[in-house]
């Protein structure tokens, strides 16, 4: 059974990168309207972003086919708590942000009840253009949401700095340690940096989470224990926590220098753009803000440099690509103008439009075209055996919270590795 499960996971991983190869609606295929192009109606997309220029650009392109369809994006305050009420109200949205943790969560049963089954063949959505490991199905085999962006974890790398200092960008753990030692000798007190003040968004979690889920992926029985918060699963955190401790003990990271960074988004980006940080640890969601902030950084504007986002090489073989959805769209099956809403989704869920939107937002595309944005190109080189599909595995939020807290407390010296391992399921 263990061999069977591992083989099944490997097959799913391979299919991830092959899934778009045979699309009937590929990058060059043209969208063809299926409804009356003179139709006049309103479509609203509700989400938690302050603004969504990338989606609004899609609205403009859709209007080339349907000029009388008025599309708008609205941000909902207190999104998670207000969504159910808004969906049941008079001014209900047609499309809304959704997350896999909503499915099967009794607190969101009212939200899930509004979700249309997007795998219905009559809708003709090209779900094959999305990496198969990102598609989540419920207990009834329905696809209630589709990813429009995906996320991963890694480090921003100042490629020009490495080149200038004559140091190779590390791709294995040994190379990382050597690079950090060499860079320290050249005056870089903290070769690696990242926000470290809170457990909810610290660099320790970004380092530890990929290693933990990769360990669980190799041990299906352990995954079940970890999801159930069984204390026995704590031992599987050990490699990840020891990895965090190793970076700090080997002076790859100076916590005092990291503590000067006040948030895990704007301040992380602007600190990296100062140009003296070789490697800045963060999530892909942070990378999404880099393009807009290049012009906001006086240092970067005055001395721009080439940079990319790469896996953190924490093993002898390198880093991991943790491939998971970021933002997903669900369709409100009880909305007005459902036919046109589905028509917009058919327009959007294609290689061309998803790639374009990811490029504008600078988030990871959910299609196979990872190298489309050179910033994410290093992840396109990660082999399938080091790609972990959290949707295929079934990683649950309580598990995620345990490794996040454990990594933070070990990194800050509040717990030893042994203590954190023993407290699995009770960390808070």
Catalogue all structural domains in the chain, each as residue range(s) with its CATH number: 20-25+36-144+328-362 (3.40.190.10), 153-323+379-422 (3.40.190.10)
Q: In what order do the strands lie in the sheet with 150-151?
A: 150-151, 321-325, 387-389
Note the pLDDT of residue 29. 63
Task: Quote the pTM value.
Answer: 0.84
**Helix, strand, coil % over all residues of the chain, rounded to 5:** 50, 15, 40
Report phi then psi at 312, rounded to 5.
-85, 115
**Nearest to residue 196, comparing CAs of 98, 267, 120?**
267
DSSP per-residue codes, 345-398: HHHHSSHHHHHHHHHHHT-B-SSS-GGGSGGGHHHHT--GGGEEEHHHHT--HH
**Nearest to residue 312, comparing CAs of 386, 227, 404, 229?**
386
Note the pLDDT of residue 360. 87
Integer angstrom CA distances of residue 96 from 31, 84, 148, 291, 377:
23, 11, 12, 25, 30
User: For the range 15-19, what are the long-range contacts, defined as Cβ-Cβ under 8 Å and sequence gap of 24 or more?
Assistant: 15/132, 15/133, 16/131, 16/132, 16/133, 16/134, 16/323, 16/368, 16/384, 16/387, 16/389, 17/131, 17/368, 17/384, 17/387, 18/368, 19/128, 19/129, 19/130, 19/131, 19/132, 19/368
Coil, helix or strand for 142?
coil
Across 346-372, b (16+ Cβ under 10 Å) vs e yields bbbbbbbbbbbbbbbbbbbbbbbbbeb
Q: In what order do the strands lie in the sheet with 153-158?
A: 192-193, 279-283, 153-158, 307-310
Integer angstrom CA distances of residue 4 from 7, 8, 18, 60, 224:
5, 6, 21, 48, 16
Our CA angle for 131, 135, 138, nearest 5°, is: 165
- Cα–Cα distance, 360 to 53 (Å, whole number): 8
Q: The dihedral of CA 163, 167, 170, 171: what is its sign?
A: positive
Note the pLDDT of residue 26. 45
Per-residue pLDDT of the chain (428 residues; tens, 9 = 90+): 444 444 444 444 444 444 333 333 344 468 999 999 999 999 999 999 988 999 999 999 999 999 999 999 999 999 999 999 999 998 999 999 999 888 888 999 999 999 999 999 999 999 999 987 899 888 899 999 999 999 899 999 999 999 999 999 999 999 999 999 999 999 999 999 999 988 876 779 899 999 999 999 998 899 999 999 999 999 999 999 999 999 999 999 999 999 999 999 999 999 999 999 999 999 998 998 999 999 999 999 999 999 999 999 999 999 999 998 989 999 999 999 999 999 999 999 999 999 999 988 888 899 977 766 789 889 988 998 999 988 888 888 899 999 999 999 999 999 999 999 999 999 99
Note the pLDDT of residue 371. 61
Coil, helix or strand for 150?
strand
Note the pLDDT of residue 27. 45
């Amino acid at each position: 059974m263990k061999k069977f499960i591992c083989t099944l996971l490997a097959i799913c991983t391979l299919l991830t990168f092959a899934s778009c190869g045979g699309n009937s609606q590929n990058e060059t295929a043209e969208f063809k309207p299926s409804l009356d192009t003179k139709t006049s109606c309103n479509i609203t997309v509700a989400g938690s972003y302050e603004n969504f220029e990338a989606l609004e650009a899609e609205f403009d392109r859709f209007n080339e086919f349907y000029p009388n369809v008025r599309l708008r994006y609205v941000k909902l305050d207190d999104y998670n708590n207000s969504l159910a009420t808004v969906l049941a109200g008079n001014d209900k949205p047609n499309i809304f942000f959704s997350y896999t943790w909503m499915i099967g969560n009794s607190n969101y049963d009212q939200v899930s009840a509004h979700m249309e089954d997007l795998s219905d063949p009559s809708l003709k959505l090209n779900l094959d253009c999305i990496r198969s490991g990102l598609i989540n199905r419920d207990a009834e085999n329905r696809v209630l949401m589709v990813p429009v962006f995906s996320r991963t974890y890694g480090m921003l790398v100042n490629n020009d700095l490495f080149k200038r200092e004559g140091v190779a960008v590390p791709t294995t753990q040994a190379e990382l340690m050597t690079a950090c030692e060499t860079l320290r000798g050249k005056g870089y007190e903290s070769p690696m940096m990242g926000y470290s003040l809170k457990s909810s968004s610290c660099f320790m979690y970004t380092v530890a989470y990929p290693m933990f889920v990769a360990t669980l992926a190799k041990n299906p029985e352990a995954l079940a224990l970890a999801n159930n918060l069984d204390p026995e699963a704590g031992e599987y955190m050990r490699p990840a926590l020891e990895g965090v401790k190793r970076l700090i003990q080997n002076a790859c990271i100076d916590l005092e220098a990291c503590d000067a960074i006040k948030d895990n988004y704007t301040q992380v980006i602007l600190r990296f753009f100062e140009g003296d940080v070789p490697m800045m640890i963060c999530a892909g969601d942070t990378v999404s803000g880099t393009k807009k902030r290049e012009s906001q950084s006086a240092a970067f504007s005055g001395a721009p440099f080439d940079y990319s986002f790469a896996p953190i090489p924490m093993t002898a073989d390198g880093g991991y690509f943790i491939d998971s959805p970021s933002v997903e769209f669900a369709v409100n099956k009880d909305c007005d103008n459902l036919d046109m809403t589905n028509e917009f989704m058919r327009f959007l869920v294609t290689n061309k439009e998803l790639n374009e939107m990811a490029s504008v937002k600078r988030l990871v595309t959910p299609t196979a075209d990872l190298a489309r944005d050179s910033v994410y190109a290093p992840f396109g080189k990660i082999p399938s055996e080091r790609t972990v599909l959290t949707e295929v595995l079934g990683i649950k939020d309580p598990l995620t919270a345990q490794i996040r807290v454990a990594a933070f407390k070990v990194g800050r010296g509040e717990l030893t590795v042994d203590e954190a391992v023993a407290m699995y399921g009770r960390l808070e």
